[in-house]
């Protein structure tokens, strides 16, 4: 690659790098809730608190209490969080730990989970085979544990998923109000004591409008390298003119 292209690519990487994110809302369901100044909060609705069992998963943030939803129906009643008076922004990112609890039966049992923003699916079709079936699908989330008892229920096993890696949970958004819906559905969904889902360490970030991008480490390296090559070229020109 020529020196000029190296510099151009470095500058392009800087221009395309993601803008700085700011905290919009966070909740670990142990009493620590943080909200951006001026933002109104309603919910999360239709959730109770359950205690996490002691285990290796505690180090991942599934510890203390988590929000639990065991409603029935197809679709089941959603857990809804509404944020209002959000400052001007261009993007929102949602991250949380998802516990798929008890006897999820995968595609064979038609047990599914989805997340919606303002009524539109961000991720959907999430399922696992705790009790039966053979399919696991986490929509880009990362499975951390499977076959464990996240809530101390020793009859059924559970699955814990880190949803922070799901690309669909980072999305363009600019409205002053955001409604997030977390919901199970499917003709085989039973709910109740047979199967449920839980959420812990919910963190929502937003990208304020007009915030300059922060280069990734690789972009910084390329930028520095490009500027170094450009400097070498300028020094050589000075020598040639001399």
Terminal-to-terminal C-alpha distance of the chain: 27
pTM recorded for the entire structure = 0.79
In this structure, the dihedral spanned by the alpha carbons of residues 194, 137, 125 and 170, taken in order and rounded to 10 degrees, is: 120
Say what the pLDDT of residue 20 is: 86
Dihedral sign computed on CA atoms, order 42, 47, 53, 57: negative
Residue ranges per structural domain of the chain = 1-17+215-242, 20-209
Specify the DSSP class assigned to residue 225. H
20-209 under CATH 2.60.120, yes or no: yes
Say what the pLDDT of residue 4 is: 34
Say what the pLDDT of residue 100 is: 98
Number of H helices and E strands in the chain, helices first, is 3, 14
Say what the pLDDT of residue 166 is: 98
Specify the DSSP class assigned to residue 212. P
What's the average pLDDT block by block, 10 residues per block, for the chain (242 residues)?
Answer: 33 42 97 96 92 97 96 97 98 98 90 97 97 94 96 88 98 98 96 94 96 43 44 43 40
Lookup result for tokens 């990362």: 142
Residue 72 vs residues 27, 46, 117, 193, 235: alpha-carbon distances, Å: 25, 12, 21, 10, 72
Distance CA 72, CA 130 (A): 18
């Amino acid at each position: 690659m020529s020196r000029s292209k190296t510099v151009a690519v470095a500058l392009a990487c800087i221009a395309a790098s993601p803008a700085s994110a700011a905290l919009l809302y966070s909740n670990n369901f142990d009493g620590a809730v943080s909200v951006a100044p001026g933002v109104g909060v309603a919910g999360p609705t239709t959730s109770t608190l359950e205690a996490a069992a002691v285990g290796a998963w505690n180090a991942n943030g599934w510890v203390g209490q988590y929000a639990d939803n065991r409603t029935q129906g197809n679709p089941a009643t959603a857990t809804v969080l509404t944020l209002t008076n959000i400052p001007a922004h261009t993007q929102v990112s949602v991250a949380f730990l998802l516990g798929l609890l008890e006897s999820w039966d995968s595609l064979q049992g038609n047990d599914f989970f989805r997340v919606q923003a303002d009524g539109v699916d961000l991720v959907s079709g999430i399922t696992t085979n705790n009790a039966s079936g053979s399919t696991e699908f986490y929509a880009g989330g990362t499975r951390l544990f499977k076959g464990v008892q996240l809530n101390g229920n020793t009859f059924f096993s559970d699955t814990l998923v880190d949803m922070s890696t799901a690309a669909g949970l980072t999305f363009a958004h600019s409205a002053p109000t955001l409604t997030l819906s977390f919901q199970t559905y499917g003709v085989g969904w039973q709910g109740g004591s047979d199967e449920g889902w839980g959420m812990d360490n919910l963190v929502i970030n937003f990208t304020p409008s007009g915030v300059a991008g922060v280069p990734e480490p690789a972009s910084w390296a390329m930028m520095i390298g490009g500027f170094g090559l450009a400097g070498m070229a300028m020094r050589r020109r000075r020598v040639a003119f001399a």
